[in-house]
Amino acid sequence: MKTRSMFRFFCLGTLCASTLLAAAPMVRAQPSIKATDRPFIPLTSPPTHRILPGKIVFSMLVTPDLANAQSFYGQLFGWIFRPVGDDRTQRVEILLDSRPVGTMVSHAVRRAGQDVPFWMPILSTSDTATVARTTRKQGGKVLFGPHRIAGLGQTVIVSDPQHGIFGALSSDSGDPVDQPIDPQPGSWAWASLLTPYPMASAGYYQQLFGYRIAAASQQDSTTHFIVTSQDRERASINTLPSGIDQKDKARWIQFVQVGNSATVAERAHALGGHVIVPTHVDRDGAQVAILSDPAGAVFGVIEPQGDVPEGGAVR
């Protein structure tokens, strides 16, 4: 079975990376996900009551057009949606079959070129207060919380010391167990952090989640890292590609498991999205593509492949 190592070397060419980073500038708005009147469906049913620190268990889209986002992602991945929270801010929970995988929040664009739609990962933690406190000590910012979200648990949203935005969740029901097989199509399968200072970022996330940190290869020992918890590879931390101003801010990119990345990329384009990096074989043999939805939120798709033999051909 192929593990998440199939995407450990996520790296973009200079031209494509420039396009990607320009399409996803840092968002300084503080999204609200307070949900009280209509609670979220718990992450696990029946509850596991087990927290897996560092595992990405949920995702959040901040978008100015909630209806269009639901139409786009529903047709692309088969996601369905249900309203949550109160009526002050429009938000929906994302379900794959009956399993919660994320949320979408409506947020108006007030500053063109700065307030843009974006996806953020939500990482599991046993202590959101420590995430907030450590982030402040390390020079990051707390954008929301810690606050209890009905049905989910205790949540905090922060900007890390390199300005990469993510959330942390202490789930009331516990986290979904790790499966020995590839994720179901339509599930979040991997995440990569692009940052100007990979080693410093790796140290920060290690403090928060107790990650084991390993260089992706000896050659890339200071620029590409794999973070592991519970003996599972969770994400990669990568340097901003060459040709990019190294003072540019960090950002997370998340990847959805698909059966055919080229077909999904074509469908995303037909639905009004954009292909930022066309589908291609990464260094571990997975087919990947970087896309954006019609409003500009960037995400990736990943299609697992067999091992790559010498010569580079995919089995």
Q: What is the DSSP string of 223-258?
A: TEEEEEETTEEEEEEEEPPTTS-TTSPPEEEEEEE-
Range of the domain at 72: 4-303
Convert 168-187 to b/e letters by CB count within 10 Å (16 or more is b).
Answer: bbbbbbbbbeeeeebbebbb
Across 11-20, 158-167, 198-207, 271-280, least confident range:
11-20
Once rounded to an integer, what is the mean pLDDT over residues 99-110?
88
Across 2-6, 65-69, 139-143, 158-162, least confident range:
2-6
- Residue 312 inside a domain? The answer is no
pLDDT of the residue at 243: 61
- Residue 69 inside a domain? The answer is yes
* CATH number of the domain where residue 132 is located: 3.10.180.10
pLDDT of the residue at 86: 75
Mean confidence (pLDDT) of the chain = 83
- Measured CA to CA in angstroms, residue 15 lies from 18, 242, 295 at distances of 5, 9, 22
Closest CA to 215 of 228, 205, 232: 228
Q: What is the pLDDT of residues 138-169, one digit of tens each?
A: 999 999 989 999 999 999 999 999 999 999 99
Cα distance between residue 245 and residue 157, in whole Å = 26
Across 26-35, 77-86, 178-187, 279-288, least confident range:
26-35
pLDDT of the residue at 215: 85
pTM flag (> 0.95): no
Cα distance between residue 18 and residue 287, in whole Å = 21
Cα distance between residue 113 and residue 116, in whole Å = 7
Once rounded to an integer, what is the mean pLDDT over residues 264-275?
97
309 pLDDT band, cuts 50/70/90, is: very low
Query: What are the residues whose beta carbons fall under 8 Å from the beta carbon of 265, sequence distance 6 or more?
Result: 275, 278, 279, 289, 291, 301
The answer to whether the Cα torsion of 174, 180, 185, 187 is positive or negative is positive
Cα distance between residue 54 and residue 235, in whole Å = 9
pLDDT of the residue at 14: 34
Helix axes 66-77, 261-270, angle to 10 degrees: 150
- Residue 313 inside a domain? The answer is no
- Residue 14 inside a domain? The answer is yes
Cα distance between residue 37 and residue 22, in whole Å = 38
Closest CA to 12 of 273, 260, 290: 290
Q: Give the number of domains in the chain.
A: 1
pLDDT of the residue at 19: 43
- Residue 123 inside a domain? The answer is yes
Cβ-based neighbour number of residue 218 at 10 Å: 6
Once rounded to an integer, what is the mean pLDDT over residues 80-94?
88
Cβ-based neighbour number of residue 55 at 10 Å: 20
pLDDT at 53 over 50: yes
- Residue 309 inside a domain? The answer is no
- Residue 173 inside a domain? The answer is yes
pLDDT of the residue at 182: 77
- Residue 51 inside a domain? The answer is yes
